[in-house]
Structure 1
Amino acid sequence: MAEVVYKIVEHDGGWAYKVGDVFSEAFPDHKSAAAAARRAAAEQRVPGSTEVIQYEDEQGKWHEETSRGDDRPRTDIVDKS
């Protein structure tokens, strides 16, 4: 099972959450950023419908896969402040 980690960090004159190298919008305070991270983490765990997806890789080759709607990642929030 995949894991998605949301880190609460200072960013752009305020606070944000970060997943990998991607920042959320900036929030005016730590409490708001942490609440937004909790909401986003909860949404990641919500199951969806099973669907066939198509995508093109870096070499220009097309792939088709079935994405299971119940295969949701585990989420965690890291807040070291």
Structure 2
Amino acid sequence: MTEIHYVIVEHDGGWAYKMGDVFSETFPSHDQALEAATAASHRQEIPGESEGISYQDAKGMWHEELAPGNDRPEADVVD
């Protein structure tokens, strides 16, 4: 199973959470960023409907596949 980690960091004069190289919006306090990251991590684990998706890879090739709605990652927050 895939694991993703939201990390709480200082950002743009406040606090944010990030996953990989992507930052959330900036929050005025650490606690607000932690609360938002916790909510985001919970939403990642909610199953949905299976749907067809298409995406372009780094080489510019397009792919189509079925994304199972029950194939959700394990998500956590690193504070």
Partner of 1:19: 19
User: Which 5+ residue runs of structure 2 have no aligned equivalent?
Assistant: none
Structure 1 position 56, deviation (Å): 2.4
TM-score, normalising length: structure 1: 0.91
Aligned sequence identity (%): 58
Structure 1 position 59, deviation (Å): 3.0
Instruction: List per-residue Cα deviations over 1:33-72 (Å, max 9, x = no partner).
Output: 0000001001100111001112222333221111000000
Structure 1 position 76, deviation (Å): 1.1
Q: Root-mean-square deviation (CA), in Å?
A: 1.0
Structure 1 Cα separation of the partners of residues 60 and 31 of structure 2: 43
Partner of 1:50: 50
Count how many residue pairs are aligned between Structure 1 and Structure 2.
Answer: 79
Q: Which moved more, 1:53-62 or 1:41-50?
A: 53-62
The 4+ residue runs of structure 1 with deviation greater than 6 A are none
TM-score, normalising length: structure 2: 0.93
User: Which 5+ residue runs of structure 1 have no aligned equivalent?
Assistant: none
Alignment of 1:1-81 (within 5 A): 1-79=1-79
Structure 2 Cα separation of the partners of residues 17 and 51 of structure 1: 28
Structure 1 Cα separation of the partners of residues 59 and 34 of structure 2: 38
Q: Which moved more, 1:9-18 or 1:53-62?
A: 53-62
